[in-house]
A = this chain, B = another copy of it.
């Protein structure tokens, strides 16, 4: 059954208050699948089913934040407080950030004090940092415990912790001393001490670290969870592998969009409004119009050469585009390699010399291709002008394409700002000048 059909059936069941019927429909679905269906039901109906689900807080956590807010409007205050109290700490803080002041004022007093403070603390971290990504639902152990005590402690913590597969060993100041995996605990003898079996060389992240770097760390070290510490070394949260995977995907999407000349955009493409799409695209389009004026000025400068040799115009798009295409290839390779960490800033020079070699080969191949076409359409001189121009245009395109991401990075921009459209414009302008300059030297004016 499609989600739409299921949503319709559930709506009917809820309207007639047949909740048993509704339960049967969603019983075998995973929480995220239920969340997707609930998003298609009117909030005034959806909350009634949601409230009655045994795994309501998990399902609710998977609902998009704007729909969470809409549902929060419908819920009676006590019900809402219970639901929010059950949510994972990180999802709860994300929702809190999206509520308006009225909603916050209604919700907060209904929560237990510890949860209120937890929300305030988590919501205070800047978006895009480890702090904003982490959850405070982690399991801790004391260094003096033995394995039996540790397992008993984990049993107590399990209902609230996002994972008990890694437990963090802390002292009284919450300073992170080590980590013990549940696998180690299960394999150890009951009387062994945590201090003897814990791993003390731990990978951790500072609370202010960029979420992209956090995700890279989780990926590199194959972690189930990464502990997050504050400037004093105290444990304040963990980032779980699934959240890290979501961040990696979002960051890839963002880079991908930038590479096509679309500014950072939040939300799924299907849900984004026309207004948002317009705003996220218009800047680069208009900016590049002015960028392309340079190409126009180049052409204007060589108007006499063109007037005397109209055949040049025939090859103009082909020639300038080839530079842009080669440049886009180089930029794409560099931007992604910088994003995954395969390449770092200090690699620029060694990569440049290799890129020059590749460009020489590519330019040579292209020069041969175009000189043939040039000979057919024009004569030997045209053919020579085209081959020379192509060689230069491709080489300069490659150098611009591979260098611009580094330059932008150095200037504090995201290297992904070196989008294909931007590279194309820059290469076009330089390509026009190179082509017509070479032509003016060889052809009659």
List A residues at the B interface (Cβ < 8 Å). Answer: 28, 30, 32, 151, 154-155, 158-159, 164-165, 182-183, 186-187, 201, 203, 218-224, 241-242, 244-246, 248-249, 252-253, 255-257, 259-262, 268-270, 274, 277-278, 281-282, 284-286, 288-289, 292-293, 295-297, 299-300, 303, 306-307, 310, 313-318, 320-322, 324-326, 328-329, 331-337, 340, 342-343, 347, 351, 354, 357-358, 361-362, 365-366, 369-370, 373, 394, 419-421, 424-425, 428-429, 432
Contact = CB atoms under 8 A, between A and B. Distances in A.
A285 B252 contact: no
Contacts of A285: 322, 325-326, 329, 362, 365-366, 394
Nearest 5 pairs between A and B by C-beta?
A260-B332, A420-B420, A222-B242, A295-B317, A292-B318
A167 B256 CA distance: 37
A286 B358 CA distance: 15
Nearest to A311: B300
A95 B201 CA distance: 29
Given A260-B333, A362-B281, A310 B321 contact: no
A242 B269 contact: no
A155 B270 contact: no
Contact of A329 (B224, B262, B326, B334): B262
Nearest to A240: B222
Contacts of A164: 183, 186
6 contacts: A224-B224, A241-B245, A248-B249, A259-B259, A269-B334, A281-B329
B293 A332 contact: no
A367 B292 CA distance: 15
B295 A343 contact: no
Contacts of A255: 256
A318 B245 CA distance: 40
Contacts of A313: 299, 303, 306, 313, 316
Nearest to A246: B219
A241 to B, nearest CB: 5
A328 B284 CA distance: 11
Contacts of A295: 317-318, 321
A300 B336 CA distance: 39
Contacts of A260: 259, 328-329, 331-333, 420
A363 B234 CA distance: 54
The CB with the most chain B CB atoms within 10 A, among A154, A246, A252, is that of A252
Given A260-B332, A285-B362, A219 B369 contact: no
A342 B270 contact: yes
A317 B357 CA distance: 29
Contact of A325 (B28, B284, B333): B284
